[in-house]
Amino acid sequence: MIQRRTVLKAGAAVTGALGSAGLLVPAVAGPAQATDLDPSTVPQFQQAMPVPGVVQPVCDLGLTSYYDMTLQEADAEILPGRLTRVRTFNGSFPGPVIKAVSGRRVVVRQTNRLSVPTSIHLHGGHVPQSSDGSPMDVITPGGGSKIYTYPNSQPHANLWFHDHTHHQESETVYRGLTGLYLLTDDVERNLNLPSGAYDVPIALRDARFDDSGQLVYTMGDFMKRQVLLANGKAWPYFEVAARKYRFRLFNTANLRFFTLQLSDGSAFQQIGSDGGLLEKPLDVTSVSLSPGERADIVVDFSRYAVGTRLILTNTGGLLPGDPVDQVGRVLQFRVTGAARDTSSVPSTLRTLPAAGSATVSRDFVLSMDETGATMDAFINGKSYDMDRIDTEIKYGATEIWTVRNANIYTPHNFHIHLVQFRVLERNGKPVTSGPESGLKDTVPLLPGETVKLQATFTGYEGTYVYHCHMFDHASMGMMANFRVSKSTAAPAT
Ligand code: C2O
Ligand code: CU
């Protein structure tokens, strides 16, 4: 690990592209590459957006479903007419979907046929440490395997899984190792939301290609990742009927923030976030997603004439000079016909569990070197050390964590394993409504921002991580360990 970091730093000629908009990360010039593919040469809206395939269990026994998955390389048609080598679960790009139900256990055997170690984390999952896919708990390459047990003792939520091998997750995720995990329960199923073919998960990300159509990974070069993918295709189209659709949006990008809108500026509803449905649907004209975050939305296409074409646009993370026709567009909706619609979005979706009252407060400061001199990133001034416990938590404690982004140019975000938390305040203002009022596991922090989060650490004892979910930053060290233990003395408040 140390070796790799040294190599990373030594190889990093930093261009120090700082100082314009607030969304910059230091740009790092990589080793000499084949020429970059010019993103403006990629034809848009030529490929249909696929719906990710659902993985079937190898067997269901009692209250457990067993899955067998293989981590392997595959070639995928991301750019029209070209093949790109990617890292996948079961050869699927976009990553496949596991469908799970609260109260039914899922057991997955992951066999690693890649050439790199992997550790598979269920993002947003409430799971024992042994199945958390922590950075230090890797599956060896070349055929090693590990069994992950997901109790699903938590309410419905749009979860996802991805590699978490420290210092390598950023590249492995970038090369494709992500999948979706849709956990449902009776609360969600008893609503009459759009379902079946009208309930579509969409994994969003960006990528950079060379002129032979292969992915180029250079840590921190988010500005060069100008090809946007929806469910694994560059700028696809998606045919819809003139009725309501539920879209479950996942930001699986390493660094890119998305702010999504319909090109006619019209309203839609946001019904859920990271940890499942909101209490009430929100009427919105945009949703913003930092890396790792999810938004569940309902778009009603019945207001459009058949033949209408609309673009899902992006205004998130755009820098001056960015090619707006590329990074400002995600996909095209084509309204192709009529369809019956008996679904509805009720005015009350769920009741959230009471937040409880906190007995412990802690402060966390996120920062990275913005001078460009190093590629170090910190939480409370320390880079990640897998052998160091940064935060000791008494099992069952409810805590308030105040998290601040101390950088002036670089956005970050903050993800905590094991728990779904509540956002109490953003920049000193109470969060009582809006998209952050539901259950969350990841929150954005623009430069200078502060959030106050509340979580209850219960269910499992063990060591877990919290980190910036801009994977390149986590790989640079913006991550720390917390340990939940019954024998920890409760810290004084
Ligand atoms: Cu989605 Cu620790 O990560
Ligand atoms: Cu960060």
Q: What's the CA-to-centroid distance between 9 and ligand 2, angstroms?
A: 17
pLDDT per position as a tens digit, 209-221: 999 999 999 998 9
| Residue 16: band (very low, low, confident or very high) from pLDDT cuts 50, 70, 90 | very low
Q: How far apart are CA 361 and CA 355, in angstroms?
A: 15
| Residue 203: band (very low, low, confident or very high) from pLDDT cuts 50, 70, 90 | very high
Closest residue (by CA) to atom 3 of ligand 1? 123
Ligand 1 contact via 208 beta carbon (within 6 Å): no
| Residue 25: band (very low, low, confident or very high) from pLDDT cuts 50, 70, 90 | very low
Q: How far apart are CA 69 and CA 122, in angstroms?
A: 14
Ligand 1 contact via 415 beta carbon (within 6 Å): yes
Ligand 1 atom with the shortest distance to the CA of 292: 1
Beta-carbon contacts of 56 under 8 Å, excluding residues fewer than 6 positions away, are none
Ligand 1 contact via 467 beta carbon (within 6 Å): yes
Assess whether pLDDT exceeds 90 at residue 414: yes
pLDDT at 33: 52
Please name the helix (run of DSSP H) or strand (run of DSSP E) that holds residue 1, with its range, or none.
Answer: none
In this prediction, what percent of the chain has a pLDDT beyond 70? 92
Assess whether pLDDT exceeds 60 at residue 329: yes
Q: What's the CA-to-centroid distance between 74 and ligand 2, angstroms?
A: 30
Q: What's the CA-to-centroid distance between 378 and ligand 2, angstroms?
A: 9
Beta-carbon contacts of 312 under 8 Å, excluding residues fewer than 6 positions away, are 230, 260, 261, 262, 263, 329, 330, 331, 332, 333
Ligand 1 contact via 477 beta carbon (within 6 Å): no
| Lowest-confidence region among 52-56, 120-124, 133-137, 239-243 | 133-137
Assess whether pLDDT exceeds 50 at residue 1: no
pLDDT at 143: 95
Pair of tokens at residue 251: 């930001």
Which residues face 335 on adjacent strands?
Answer: 240
Phi, then psi, of 467 in degrees rounded to 5: -165, 165
pLDDT per position as a tens digit, 117-167: 999 999 999 999 999 999 989 999 999 999 999 999 999 999 999 999 988
Q: Is the pTM of this model over 0.75?
A: yes
pLDDT per position as a tens digit, 442-477: 999 999 999 999 999 999 999 999 999 999 999 999
Ligand 1 contact via 166 beta carbon (within 6 Å): no
* Of the candidates 396, 402, 356, the residue with the CA atom closest to the CA atom of residue 379: 402
Q: How many CB atoms lie within 10 A of CB 75?
A: 14
What integer is the mean pLDDT of 392-409? 97
Beta-carbon contacts of 298 under 8 Å, excluding residues fewer than 6 positions away, are 193, 194, 244, 245, 246, 247, 268, 269, 271, 281, 345
Assess whether pLDDT exceeds 60 at residue 420: yes
Q: What's the CA-to-centroid distance between 291 and ligand 2, angstroms?
A: 10
Assess whether pLDDT exceeds 90 at residue 405: yes
Ligand 1 atom with the shortest distance to the CA of 442: 1
Assess whether pLDDT exceeds 50 at residue 18: no
pLDDT per position as a tens digit, 351-381: 998 888 999 999 999 999 998 888 899 999 9
Ligand 1 contact via 443 beta carbon (within 6 Å): no
Pair of tokens at residue 363: 């402060």
Ligand nearest to the CA of 474: 2
What integer is the mean pLDDT of 180-202? 98
pLDDT at 180: 98
Q: Are 213 and 82 in contact (CB under 8 A)?
A: yes
* Of the candidates 472, 320, 461, 306, the residue with the CA atom closest to the CA atom of residue 394: 461
Domains of the chain, CATH where assigned:
4-29+45-188 (2.60.40.420), 196-338 (2.60.40.420), 360-485 (2.60.40.420)
| Residue 5: band (very low, low, confident or very high) from pLDDT cuts 50, 70, 90 | very low
pLDDT at 488: 82
More confident residue, 3 or 394: 394
Place of tokens 């923030």: 257
Tell me if residue 380 falls in helix, strand or coil. Answer: coil
For residue 7, the one-letter residue type is: V
Ligand 1 contact via 473 beta carbon (within 6 Å): no
Distance of CA 411 to the CA centre of its chain: 15
Query: What b/e string do you get for 81-93 counting C-beta neighbours within 10 Å, with b at 16 or more?
Result: ebebebbbbbebb
Query: What b/e string do you get for 183-220 counting C-beta neighbours within 10 Å, with b at 16 or more?
Result: bbbeebeebebbeeebbbbbbbbbbbbeeebbbbbbbb
Assess whether pLDDT exceeds 50 at residue 21: no
pLDDT at 490: 65
Beta-carbon contacts of 55 under 8 Å, excluding residues fewer than 6 positions away, are 67, 69, 89, 90, 96, 97, 98, 179
Q: Are 409 and 443 in contact (CB under 8 A)?
A: no
Q: Are 252 and 175 in contact (CB under 8 A)?
A: no
pLDDT at 231: 98
Mean of the per-residue pLDDT values of the chain? 92
Q: What's the CA-to-centroid distance between 51 and ligand 1, angstroms?
A: 23
Q: What's the CA-to-centroid distance between 457 and ligand 1, angstroms?
A: 17
Assess whether pLDDT exceeds 60 at residue 67: yes
For residue 39, the one-letter residue type is: P
Assess whether pLDDT exceeds 70 at residue 8: no
pLDDT per position as a tens digit, 266-317: 999 999 999 999 999 999 999 999 999 999 999 999 999 999 999 999 999 8
Q: Are 293 and 281 in contact (CB under 8 A)?
A: no
| Helix, strand, coil in percent for the chain, rounding step 5 | 10, 40, 50
Beta-carbon contacts of 120 under 8 Å, excluding residues fewer than 6 positions away, are 108, 110, 133, 139, 146, 148, 161, 162, 163, 164
Assess whether pLDDT exceeds 80 at residue 23: no
pLDDT at 493: 52
